[in-house]
Structure 1
Amino acid sequence: MKLKYKNIPVLLSMMCLGLTSCSDSFLDIKPEQNVAAEDAVIDLVTLQTAINGMYSKLQDSDYYGRTMYVIPELMADNLYLSSRNTGRYLEFENFVVSDRNTYAEGTWNQIYEVVVNATRAIEGGKLIEVTTAEQQKKIDQLVGEAYTVRALAHFDLVRLYAQPYNFTANATHAGVPVVTAINTNQVSPSRNNVSEVYTQINSDLAQALLLMTNQKASGYFSVSGAKALAARVALYQENNLEAIKQSTEVINTSAYSLMTNANYLKVWNTAFNSESIFEIVNTIADSEGTNSLGHFFSVAGYADALVTTELLGLYDSNDIRKSVIVQGAKPGAEKNALFVGKFPNGTKSDDNIRLFRLAEQYLIRAEAYAKEGNDILAQQDLNLIVKRAQPNATTITDTGANLLDRILLERRKELAFEGHRLFDLNRNKKNVNIIQSENAVLVNYPNDKFILPIPLSEINANPNIKPQNNGY
C-alpha cells in the first residue's frame, strides 16, 4: 500500500497532553485505498487493511528498507563507501550532511507517514463497534500493534534528529514533534523536547501492552515485540531497571530461543526463526528492487558500502559471526573487499528485515546490569552471547568500566550492520571514528553532527519547527 506525502499545511493536529503547544501543520498523508482517508477505518476489515498499510511503510528504502540500517553504520566505524559507488550517502561518510540532504529529508517524511498511518488506525479502531468479545479482542490486538509502531517511529525520529536522552540533565533539549491525533484543524507542530518525546513513546508502549494478547506473531508486533522495543527504549533513556525488567520478560518467555552456534546462519536465511522477535516481511510484491538493502550490499548489486577491516579484525578466527562478512573482489574496484552477508538473498529478492532479535535483549540486559553495578549478572548475559558465537571463548570476568567497554564491543560485533553503532556510541558519550575508504576521521563527543538536520523543506514549510539543530 503506497502513501503520498506533501510538505504543506493540511488536516493534522497534535494532541497536546500537556506536552506541547498546538499550532498549524506539516503533513498531508492520504492512504491510496478504496475508501476516503477520513473513513478508512470503519470495521475490522478496514482496520486490518490500515494496519497492513502501516507495516508496509516500514519497508521503504527511506526507512528500514535501507537508510535506517545504513546511516548509523556508515557514520561510524563498521562501514565505508567503496571507491566505486553510486553516490548514495556520500555526505554521511564524509560527515558533511546538509539540511538539503535528500536522505535526511526522505527519512523524516517516511517516518512521519508511519506515525500518521498508525494514528489513523488507532483513532479509527477505537470507534469500531462490535458484537462479540472475540471481535473486540482482534481489534484490541490491531490497535495495540499500531501503538507499538507509533512508538517505534517516534523513537527512531528522536534518535536520528535529536541528541540522546542524556545530552542534557533533564532531557530538555530539542526533540521532534509528537503527533498523536489527526483532525480537521490545520496545525504546524512545534518540536517537543526529548523528555516529552520519550514520555509519549512510553505511553504508547504501555497502552499497547494493555491491548495486545498475542505473545508471538510472524511479521506483526506482539506482546514480546512491544516489550523488546520497551527494553531498547529504556536503555536509551538510562532507565536501567526498566530495561532489565522488559528484557527479562522477553528472555523468559518460551516463545524464543537463541540459535545455536551450528545454526547461526539461519538467523539470516530463515524467516521467523526462533531468535527473531519481530521482522518486517518482504514478499516479491513488496520488493524495493535496486533500492533494497540486499542490492545495496551485494557484490551482484551496487556493493556500495563495504565492511571495515578494523571490524573484521575484532572477531577471533573461529567466531561464527565472522561468517556474515564475505571476503572477495569488487569488479572494477577493491580487490580485497569485505561484503555484508546479513542479507543473503542479495539481488534475487528482498530479505525480511529483523528489527528485534533475542541476542539484543541479552545485550540490553547485560548493559543495564553493568550500569547498575551488578557485574556478575552482566557477565552471565554477555558470556552467553560470546560463547554462542565462539564456544571456546575465554570467560569474560571484566568489571566496572572495562566490563561496559566489553559489552559495547560485543554489541558492535553481534549487531553489526543492523543500525545500532552510531547510536550506541553517542548515547554512551563516546568519540566516533568515521572510517572512510582511504582514511579515518576521529570526531569527539559531543558533536552537533552526530544527529541529522531538520530538513530545510520542513523548516520552510513550518514556521514552528525551529530551532534547527545546532551546526546546520
Structure 2
Amino acid sequence: MKKIILIFTLLTAISVVNSCRDAYEIVQDGEFSESATFQSVNDMQKFLNNTYDRVSIYNEIAFTSIFTDELGIGSQNGGQNVSLYNFVVTSQNGYASSMWLGHYSAINSANRLIAGAKLITPNGTAEQQAYNSILAQAYAIRAFSHFQLLSYFAPNIKDNGSLGVILMDRVPAANEKLPRSTVGEVFSLIESDLNFAYANIDPVKLPSTASASYKFVSKTFIDALRARMYLYRGNYTLAEQYADNVINNSGLTLTPAGTVTVNSAGVANAAFYGSYTTASTSPYKSMLQDFSRGEVIMALDRPVGKAGIASEFYFNRTNFLGGPYMDLGRAVYNLINVPGDVRKHAYIDPTAKIDANYQTYSFPQYLLNDVLCIDKYSGKSGAELNSDLKVFRLSEMYFIKAECRVAANDLPGAAARIKAVRDARNYLAPVTLPVYANATQAWNDILKERRVELALEGHRYLDLKRIGALAGVTKTERDPKDVEGYTNKELNITDSRFTLPIPADEINGNPIQQNPGY
C-alpha cells in the first residue's frame, strides 16, 4: 500500500478543475490542496468525472480470457500471452498488478471526493440533490472497486474471518502502511457504502448530459452489484431478492436475436454484421457494438484514447487481416455452433476461417486453417479496437436467479431462467426446456450457459472457482486442439492460481501477507 499511496500523492498535485492559468501562473508544489480543488458542487462533479475515468474491468476481462478456456493461440501469434496461456502466474503478473493498482486508484479518487465534499455547503434544494447524488456515486464506485479486489485477491470471500484485501475508507497518509483486512471487514464497508449510495442516488443527476445514463451509477446498478455480491458470498436469499429487483423493476428485457439470414457457407448476411461504423440489424449484435443499450445495466465507456479490449486479441483491426494473435477458443465455438444461436455469428467476424475438419490437422496447420476471429468487441467509429466494457447485463441476473433456484431445490425454476436466455439468443425458434435430473446437472447447465453468454466479459475465472465443483467440472476445458502444442493443457479449479497474487510492488513497499502458492 505504501507504493500505491506514494503514487496517489503524486497524482494529487494535478487538479481536474483548474483552468489554463496554470500554464503561466507559477505556484509552489502542493498548492492545489483540497480546499482549492473543492469549492463548489460543480467542482465535485468534475472530480467525479475523473473518478469514473479510473473505473475499469479491462484487466479482469483480459486475464480471464487468456488464463481460462475462452481463447486459443491465434495464427499471427508471435509469443503474445503464451506464458499466461500456459498458466504461469507470479506476483509480477502485469494484469494482476494493473487490476490491484487500478481499483485502488479508483478508491483513492472516490475517497478524495468524499473528503473534499465536507468543505462544500450546497446552496438550495437543487444543489443539495446534486451534492447527495455525486457522493452516492463516489460511495458506489468505492464499493464496486473493493468488491472486485475481494473477488480476485481474497482466497475465500465466503469466510468473513479469512484474509481479504486492504480496506481504504479514507485518504491515507503518504508514509502510512495498511494491513490486509478480513473479508468480513471489507464487506461491511461495501454494504455500508451501497446503503448510502442507494438512499442518495438521483438518476437525473448525471456526470455528463452527452453520455448515456447507463454508463453511470444508478439504483439498478446497485441492485445488480448486490445480486452478484451475495451470489458470490453464497447468500442465495439476498442474491435472488436483488436479481428479482433488476429483472422486474429495471424496465429492461432480454435483448432478442432478431432476424438473421445465413448463406450456404453458414455466414450471416452483411447487414447482420454491420461494422464499427454501421449498426447491425440484429438487436443483440447492435448491443454488443454499442449502437444500442439493449439489456445492458451498466457499461464503462471506452472513448478514443482509451485502451481497447480487442487489442488483447488483434494487432490493429478486428478481422482476419488485422493480425489476430488470439482466437476464440474452439471449445467455446463448438458450444454456440448450433442451429439458430445468434452468438455463433455475433462473436465471430465474417472473415474468419472455420474448418469442420480442424481435428485432422497438425497443430501448425490447425492454427492456419481454423482461425476464429473474435468480433465481440468490434469497436466504434474512430476507435476500431474500442468497445464499451459491459459490467452488468440482464442475462447475468437470469443466471443468478437460476443459481438461487437450484440452491432452493427448484430445478424447474432454474431451467425456466436458462431457457429464457436461450430463447432470446435463438433467431429460429424457442428452444426446448431443459430438464435436470439432479442439482449437479442444473449447476453444469448454468455454468455452460454462463460460459457462452458471458464469454470474454470477465466471468469465467471466478465462475470455475465458484461453482465448478457443484457442476462436476474439475478443471479448465480447452479444446484438445487448442492446447496440442503446449505443455500445460489444463488447470484444476482447486489450484491456488484461482486466487491472484498480491503484486510484488505492493509487498515490496508494504510487507503484507502474500496469498498461498506464491
> For 1:395, which of 420, 426, 433 is the aligned residue?
433
Cα 1:359/1:405, change in 2 over 3 Å? same
Aligned-pair CA distance for 1:127? 4.1
Cα 1:232/1:457, change in 2 over 3 Å? same
The aligned counterpart of 1:367 is 403
> For 2:508, which of 444, 460, 468 is the aligned residue?
460
Report SS of the residue matched to 1:393: coil
Aligned-pair CA distance for 1:376? 3.0
Query: How many angstroms apart in 2 are the aligned matches of 1:425 and 1:349?
Result: 28
> For 2:47, which of 36, 45, 50 is the aligned residue?
50
Aligned-pair CA distance for 1:154? 1.0
> For 2:379, which of 321, 345, 349 is the aligned residue?
345
- Answer with 402-411 or 316-325: which moved more: 316-325
Query: How many angstroms apart in 1 are the aligned matches of 2:90 and 2:152?
Result: 14
What whole-Å deviation, never above 9, does each CA across 1:295-330 have from its counterpart, x for those lacking one?
Answer: 568235453321111111112232112222326259
> For 1:358, which of 385, 394, 409 is the aligned residue?
394
Query: How many angstroms apart in 2 are the aligned matches of 1:294 and 1:442?
Result: 21
What whole-Å deviation, never above 9, does each CA across 1:67-113 have from its counterpart, x for those lacking one?
Answer: 22121122211113325435444332111111122332222112110
- Answer with 210-219 or 352-361: which moved more: 210-219
Say if 2:301 and 2:389, in contact at 8 Å, map to a contact too. Answer: yes
Counterpart check, 1:419 vs 2:438: no
> For 1:304, which of 321, 325, 343 is the aligned residue?
325
Q: How does 1:225-244 map to 2 (within 5 A)?
A: 225-244=221-240
Report SS of the residue matched to 1:218: helix
Report SS of the residue matched to 2:501: coil
Cα 1:8/1:364, change in 2 over 3 Å? closer
Report SS of the residue matched to 2:392: strand
Counterpart check, 1:80 vs 2:40: no
Cα 1:8/1:241, change in 2 over 3 Å? closer
Code of the residue aligned with 2:374 in structure 1: it is V
Report SS of the residue matched to 1:427: helix
Code of the residue aligned with 2:345 in structure 1: it is S
Counterpart check, 1:196 vs 2:185: yes
Counterpart check, 1:270 vs 2:290: yes
The aligned counterpart of 2:475 is 432
Cα 1:458/1:386, change in 2 over 3 Å? same
Cα 1:429/1:411, change in 2 over 3 Å? closer
For normalisation by structure 2, the TM-score amounts to 0.78
What whole-Å deviation, never above 9, does each CA across 1:389-422 have from its counterpart, x for those lacking one?
Answer: 1233211121422112111111111101100001
The aligned counterpart of 2:342 is 320
Counterpart check, 1:471 vs 2:507: no
Say if 2:405 and 2:414, in contact at 8 Å, map to a contact too. Answer: yes
Number of equivalences: 443
Query: How many angstroms apart in 1 are the aligned matches of 2:323 and 2:161?
Result: 41
Say if 1:176 and 1:194, in contact at 8 Å, map to a contact too. Answer: yes
Cα 1:112/1:81, change in 2 over 3 Å? farther
Say if 1:151 and 1:204, in contact at 8 Å, map to a contact too. Answer: yes
What whole-Å deviation, never above 9, does each CA across 1:218-276 have from its counterpart, x for those lacking one?
Answer: 32111111111111111101111111111111111253222112022122123451311
More strand by share: 1
The aligned counterpart of 1:15 is none
> For 2:170, which of 181, 202, 217 is the aligned residue?
181
Query: How many angstroms apart in 1 are the aligned matches of 2:500 and 2:170?
Result: 25
What whole-Å deviation, never above 9, does each CA across 1:26-69 have from its counterpart, x for those lacking one?
Answer: x75426325525333332111111111111122xxxx42x3221
Query: How many angstroms apart in 1 are the aligned matches of 2:489 and 2:122?
Result: 59
Counterpart check, 1:442 vs 2:490: yes
Cα 1:105/1:143, change in 2 over 3 Å? same
- Aligned sequence identity (%): 26
Query: How many angstroms apart in 1 are the aligned matches of 2:13 and 2:344?
Result: 42
Query: How many angstroms apart in 2 are the aligned matches of 1:219 and 1:324?
Result: 22
The aligned counterpart of 2:200 is 211
Query: How many angstroms apart in 2 are the aligned matches of 1:146 and 1:109?
Result: 18
Report SS of the residue matched to 2:215: coil
Say if 1:105 and 1:455, in contact at 8 Å, map to a contact too. Answer: yes
- Answer with 238-247 or 271-280: which moved more: 271-280
Code of the residue aligned with 1:323 in structure 2: it is H
> For 1:71, which of 54, 63, 72 is the aligned residue?
63
Query: How many angstroms apart in 1 are the aligned matches of 2:308 and 2:257?
Result: 32
**Structure 1 gap segments, 5+ residues each:** 13-26
Report SS of the residue matched to 2:214: coil
The alignment yields a C-alpha RMSD, in angstroms, of 2.8
> For 1:163, which of 155, 163, 166 is the aligned residue?
155
Cα 1:410/1:160, change in 2 over 3 Å? same
Cα 1:68/1:9, change in 2 over 3 Å? closer
Query: How many angstroms apart in 2 are the aligned matches of 1:415 and 1:140?
Result: 34
Structure with the greater alpha carbon radius of gyration: 2
